[in-house]
Amino acid sequence: MIDFKVSKGIPSPLGSSISKEGVQFACADNADGIVIINKKTNDKIKIPFTDEYRFGNIASIIIKNFDFAKYKYCFYKKDEEFADLYSSRIIGNEKYGVKGADYKLTSEVTDHDAYNWENDSYPLTAFEESVLYLLHVRGFSEHASSKVSNKGTLNGIVQKIPYLKDLGITALELMPAYEFEEYTKPDKRVTDMAEVSGAKVVNKLNYWGFKEAYYFAPKASYTHSGDAVKDFKDFVKSMHKEGLEVIMQFYFPDEIKAYFIYEVIKYWKLNYHIDGFHLKGNNIPFSLIACDPLFSDTKLFYDYIPEEEIYDFNEIPKKKNLCVYSDAFMYQMRKALKGDEDTLKDVIFNTRNMPSKSSITNFITNYYGFTLYDLVSYDRKHNDDNGEKNSDGCDYNYSWNCGIEGKTKKASVLNLRKRMMKNALFLVFSSKGVPLIYAGDELANTQQGNNNPYCQDNSISYINWNQNALADEIHDYVKELIALRKNSFNDILNREFSMLDRNRIGYPDLSYHSDEAWKADLATYNRHLGIMYSDYDDKSEEITLYYFAYNFYWKEITFSLPYIPSKTKWDVVLSTGVVKNIDNKEAKNQGMEFELEHRSCALFKVSFKKTDKKIQA
């Protein structure tokens, strides 16, 4: 038996850390001591935390000349042994799936300084230039059709980097990728009650991972080499080399303390070069994190940004790094998409909504709810496979099945669904703010009407990469939208609007239209709207107009485009439906009329010189 040389440590940092004196172990859980376990023989050595090693509620020791690579460890209290909550490596949960009744988690020491980052640098992509892509690490590539090695892992994502770059996204948002137990033993009270009642205890899988977890450790089953720490760093480094950012979701239940949350975020920033964090929970110390200079160039997402607690009244951040991440856009735009009454005001608000000192994320689908394809294919949720008699998941989806619930071969319904999917994406990318795509939506992925597959580790939750004609068309459409957003009208959408003609070009920077040019009829029964943006280049004296037409009505609608010089014409850049009579120069109602097919959207563009004369009525 090896006799370890132990001395008193210091109270920070908690967990295990390496210093010149040796390896320090610090625990704040009222532990009685630490158990050192030989990896080969499983021999154990218990080192009690006597009073001389304690600082208040923290016990800390340093083991000198400790070859930590040969050992794992855990803490103990009385007869109970438990893994270190601050551990950077968790051992025992490497294989995703059902665990045996006797499985046990332990911890390992990590030397973060030993990793070679190879001059890794953060992309630091501005919000105004960002396109986010939300995915589940396992679900992204676990399906056989992904055609990658190391399926369901971070390396599977790395192999898809060419696909992601070709699509045009700039950042990945990962659902929980830190260590959580996808299966846990049922609570003893539950098993006792079941034994009395004769009921069967179902040990349900937590596929998403929104639960209390080992927040400092990468999820081992999402990595492939047996070294989760190295694999995660390799993943981030590979992403950064291609100019892609990594955003991590972190969910903290109410019982998690604020100081712990802060330590978690700081740890991943410093040790894994994470570009941003989407923080989920009710007790997030968001202002504390946002005010820390360490995170000044880190993207921070939360459902509400308390700007008044972070910035002085007249302070304007040089570069925004805070972003609102809420459901408001999703639900309000879904209502407009399916043609509900009195939604045009919401469309106007959401297309131009931008907080003064932060940004905002826009999405029409997310992991909680229908996929894009299911949004236009189901009126109701179909969560029977979740084992809760369809009682789980959101009942208010604001979806529409386009006439038939679920699968159908009827061509008219399929064509309408395709157009509705494109309209939904058009709303996201024609709105001010940061567009976000839920992974698989660009391939018309379906969850068979399940709007809450939190426990489904199967094809319901996996992305099916087998392309069909619909998947190809939607994919190419998303790619086109992203390219347009980046190259044509991104700067225009992200500017401050006055609705005035500040450049004296005859057109305000933002204006609204409908049947008549320059006049938007927002009556509760109307379901169509035109939005026009103007741009002016001082050097070339060139004026560029972008006109977005939205027809959510179930009939063809006549719009009226504003006047332009007689020698120019409006070009149809993009349309989800048929546009008629756009070349008709006859001036009516202060503009030129065109017809847009029912439930369709379109983008028009025209450029001309300031010196050109406009058409006269």
Q: Report how far apart, in Å, the C-alpha atoms of 150 and of each of 147, 161, 205, 224, 247 are.
A: 10, 14, 22, 6, 22
Q: Are residues 44 and 186 in the same domain?
A: no
pLDDT of residue 586: 57
Domain of 488 in residue numbering reads as 127-493
Residue 528's CATH number:
2.60.40.1180
Among 114, 146, 171, the domain-final residue is 114
Q: Are residues 133 and 176 in the same domain?
A: yes
Contact 135, 163 (CB under 8 A): no
Structure token pair of residue 511: 């204006």
Question: Strands, E, within 419-525: which ranges?
Answer: 434-438, 510-513
Does 615 map to a domain? no
Q: Are residues 389 and 428 in the same domain?
A: yes
Residue 468's CATH number:
3.20.20.80
Contact 267, 289 (CB under 8 A): no
Residue 104's CATH number:
2.60.40.10
Q: Are residues 547 and 411 in the same domain?
A: no
Does 122 map to a domain? no
Q: Are residues 479 and 516 in the same domain?
A: no
| Average pLDDT of adjacent 10-residue blocks, the chain of 617 residues | 83 94 92 95 94 95 94 95 97 86 90 96 96 98 97 98 98 98 69 53 84 97 97 98 98 97 98 98 97 97 96 91 98 98 98 95 98 98 95 96 97 98 98 97 98 97 95 98 92 90 94 94 97 94 96 96 88 96 60 91 94 61
pLDDT of residue 617: 40
253 prior amide bond cis, ω within 30: no
Q: Are residues 388 and 518 in the same domain?
A: no
Does 446 map to a domain? yes
Q: Are residues 80 and 183 in the same domain?
A: no
Contact 93, 108 (CB under 8 A): no
Does 535 map to a domain? yes
Does 498 map to a domain? no
Among 64, 93, 114, the domain-final residue is 114
Q: Are residues 105 and 230 in the same domain?
A: no
Q: Are residues 471 and 536 in the same domain?
A: no
Contact 337, 420 (CB under 8 A): yes
Q: Are residues 88 and 216 in the same domain?
A: no
Count of domains for the chain = 3
Helix or strand (DSSP H, E) at 158 = helix 154-159
Pairing of strands 245-251, 276-280: parallel
Does 483 map to a domain? yes
Q: Are residues 307 and 272 in the same domain?
A: yes
Q: Indicate the pTM of the whole model.
A: 0.95
Does 121 map to a domain? no
Helix or strand (DSSP H, E) at 188 = helix 188-197
Q: Which of 144, 84, 91, 61 is nearest to 462 (CA)?
A: 144
Does 32 map to a domain? yes
Contact 17, 5 (CB under 8 A): no
Q: Are residues 259 and 378 in the same domain?
A: yes
Residue 519: DSSP 8-state: B
Among 436, 462, 493, the domain-final residue is 493
